[in-house]
Every structure is written in structure tokens, then in C-alpha cells.
Amino acid sequence: MSDLNIQESRKRPRDDGDEMDLVVMVLGFIMVVVGAWYGKKYRLKEITWNESERARTRATWMNTLRNDRICREQLRLDIRCFEKLCHVLKTKGGLKTTRNVTIKEIVALFLHTLAHDLKNRTMQALFARSGETISRQFHVVLASMLKLGKYYIKQAYHTTSHADDNKWKWFEGVIGALDGTHIDMTVPIEDRPRYRDRKGNLSTNVLATCDPNLRFTYVLPGWEGSASDPRVLRDALCMPNGLKVPKNKYLLVDLGYSNAEGFLAPYKGTRYHLNLWRGNTPTNEKELFNLRHSSARNTIERAFGEENIEETSLMQEVDHDLINMEAIDEEEVEENYILSARTTNEWNKFRDDLAKKMFQEYMERRGQAT
């Protein structure tokens, strides 16, 4: 082909097919851009609507707490105490409001979870939050609660005179009662064998002591449900800031523990629990000792299962000043406190002498009565 023909072909206009291809390409591009814009706009509207619905769900639930009765049922605190707790957690516990959550909401979440033993999935639906948010905020409040301990917890003063208490007056030198309790919990699959207790439940074994007035004086949580009560007690005695039982003093314990210095146990093979004494009277010193021991030690079981505590009791000391707690010198601890729970002949003799004294006084009173 000559150069002239080539130049003429280049100047020749496009045919209809070429123009149609160009139009289709441009329209396709416009449709993609417009579709992406509308899609983005639609998705944004959908996300905003969902978040708005979740916010209304939370607001509706929180508004129900303005009713004092409902607040007590859901959080185990009345409105005044709930608001005061929020204030204390903010000013002394370091709890802060964030862009997405308020202090009242996460404190209510924390209290409601504990009050009704609810799982993370249940709380997700109730508060319209993700599982990660529920877990994270629960632990945020928990950390703030732990910071309050130094303000409201102080070392108990051990009173050993109970002359006016019919249950405790027989035990000279006693400072309270000790027991363990199992609290149900959820653990990873690989940890379940360690946390399965003798009843087959997944639990944590918690040791605690209380005084005759139902006030807890020591609590050790965290042990696996499979751990025995004596094992937990040994840990409590040897760990830093553990259980402090002054020498020449003691706690009442049940048959699950050994009769060891500092821990007065009942006689084995003899009727013990209170429900076994209905319609019966003690006939010897061991039975009388066990009856009175059970009557006094029942205090710790009542402390674990107390249901009629006033809701305001949790916050009755909120306005108190900071309590200064003095550190205990380690040498003094080793010298003045019991560090192990070992059965000795001396301690068994102490129990026998106490039982004989009780029974002698008991028989003398019966003789005078007849």
C-alpha cells in the first residue's frame, strides 16, 4: 500500500461499531462509580441504624434502673448505693468514662453479671455489646474495685472474750470459724479436670474465716475445685499476707480438717451436725463438745449463705477516711503466728480437757435443775 493510502485510512472516521464500544465502556465506568457510591451510602446508613438500635437497647435497660425496686433486683443495690458506688469507683478507683461507655453502664454490667451469675453471651444480648467489650469492661471495673481495698478493709481485731454469747462462751481463746466453699465457674476445656470437684462440678475452692459477728476476716480464692480443704489451708498459712492465727488462739473447723494447733476440730465418729441433734440430748463429753462446736461453727456457713444482708451494708463505710494499715514484720509473724496445721498430742489433750470441762459443768447444771 502506498503512503498516500495509509494517510487516507488514518483520516477516515470511526464506524458505528467503534463508537458503540466507546459508549458502552464509558457507561460501564459511570455505573461502577455510581454503584459504589450508592453502596457505600447504603452501608453507612445500615451501620448507623444498627448502632442506633443497640444504643436504644442499652438506654432502655439503664432507664429501668431508675426504679428502686428494679435496681435492687438487678444489681442488689438500691439507686442511692449504686450511684455512690459509681462515684467512689471514679474518684478512688480510677474508673473513667470513655467515648463509647459511661461509668454507670459498665458498673451496672459488672454488678448484674455477679448478681445473677450470667455468662458473657447473655450479657452481649442484654447490653448489645460484643463479647470482647463485655469481657474487657468487666475486668476494667474489677480492677477499680480491687483498688478500693486499701480504703475499706482493715486487719480484724481478734476478740477472744464471748461471755455474753451462749454459742461462743464455751470456747476460750477462739477468734472465729474457718471453712471452704465451692463457687461454680467456667474454665477452658484443657483446665476442666483440675477444676472438677468431688461432686463433678467445675468450681473454685475458696477458703474463708469469719468472726462470731458474721464478719469475714480472711478470704483466699483461686484454688481449683479438685484441691482438698487441708491443701488450701496449708497454702493460706505459708503465703505472704496469708492467714494469721495468733499462737494460743484458734479457729473452729469442721471434720474436713485435722485437729491441729490453732484449728479446733470436732470428734470423729460422733454425731456432729445440728440437724442430727433434733430430739436428742448429749450423753457424754464428746457429744456435748460436738453439739456446741457445731452450733458455734455454723456461723461461717451462715456467712457464706447469708441472704438477708441489707443492700446498704456494702456502702455503709464509703465516707470513711483512708485506713492506714501497718506492714507486719516477718520475724514477728514467724514468732507469734501459727505457720502449719499439724496434729499434736498437746492439742488433742487441749480438746479433751475442754470437752471434760464442758460436760462437768453441764451435768452440774442438770443436777441442780432436777
Q: Which three cell numbers stand for residue 153?
A: 478493709
pLDDT of residue 235: 93
What is the total count of domains within the chain?
A: 2
Strand-pairing partners, residue 188, are none
User: Final residue of a domain: which of 128, 146, 164?
Assistant: 146
How confident is the model over 180-203, as pLDDT tens digits? Answer: 999 888 888 999 999 999 999 999
pLDDT of residue 273: 78
Could you tell me if 229 and 235 are in contact, meaning their C-beta atoms sit under 8 angstroms apart? no
pLDDT exceeds cutoff 50 at 160: yes
Could you tell me if 245 and 178 are in contact, meaning their C-beta atoms sit under 8 angstroms apart? no
Domain residues for 294?
174-307+334-369
User: Final residue of a domain: which of 146, 161, 184?
Assistant: 146
Whether residues 196 and 233 fall in one domain = yes
Whether residues 116 and 252 fall in one domain = no
Residue 96: inside a domain? yes
pLDDT exceeds cutoff 50 at 321: no
Query: Integer distance in angstroms from the first to the last C-alpha of the chain?
Result: 146
Predicted TM-score (pTM) of the model is 0.63
Mean of pLDDT values over 70-90: 93
pLDDT of residue 43: 46
pLDDT of residue 52: 80
Using 50, 70 and 90 to split pLDDT, how confident is the model at 365?
confident
Whether residues 193 and 262 fall in one domain = yes
Strands 250-252 and 174-184: parallel
pLDDT exceeds cutoff 60 at 110: yes
Whether residues 130 and 180 fall in one domain = no
Residue 127: inside a domain? yes
How confident is the model over 41-60, as pLDDT tens digits? Answer: 444 444 344 668 888 888 88
pLDDT of residue 36: 52
pLDDT of residue 224: 93
Whether residues 94 and 239 fall in one domain = no
Residue 226: inside a domain? yes
Higher pLDDT, 314 or 53: 53
Report the chain's mean pLDDT, rounded to a whole number: 79
Residue 137: inside a domain? yes
Whether residues 344 and 212 fall in one domain = yes
pLDDT exceeds cutoff 70 at 22: no
| Distances 121 to 28, 51, 118, 133, 195 between C-alpha atoms, Å | 46, 18, 8, 11, 22
Which ranges in the chain belong to alpha helices (H)?
Answer: 3-11, 16-64, 68-75, 79-91, 103-116, 120-127, 131-147, 149-152, 192-195, 229-238, 285-305, 330-336, 345-369
pLDDT of residue 320: 31
Whether residues 130 and 178 fall in one domain = no
Mean of pLDDT values over 246-272: 92
Whether residues 119 and 185 fall in one domain = no
pLDDT of residue 28: 55
Angle of helix 103-116 versus helix 16-64 axis, rounded to 10: 70
Could you tell me if 236 and 223 are in contact, meaning their C-beta atoms sit under 8 angstroms apart? no
Query: 161: how many CB neighbours lie within 10 A of its CB?
Result: 10
pLDDT of residue 336: 86
Higher pLDDT, 87 or 27: 87
Higher pLDDT, 251 or 333: 251
Whether residues 259 and 359 fall in one domain = yes
Mean of pLDDT values over 142-146: 91
pLDDT of residue 197: 92
| Lowest-confidence segment of 94-108, 112-126, 240-254, 332-346 by average pLDDT | 332-346
Residue 10: inside a domain? no
Which ranges in 281-344 belong to alpha helices (H)?
Answer: 285-305, 330-336
pLDDT exceeds cutoff 60 at 212: yes
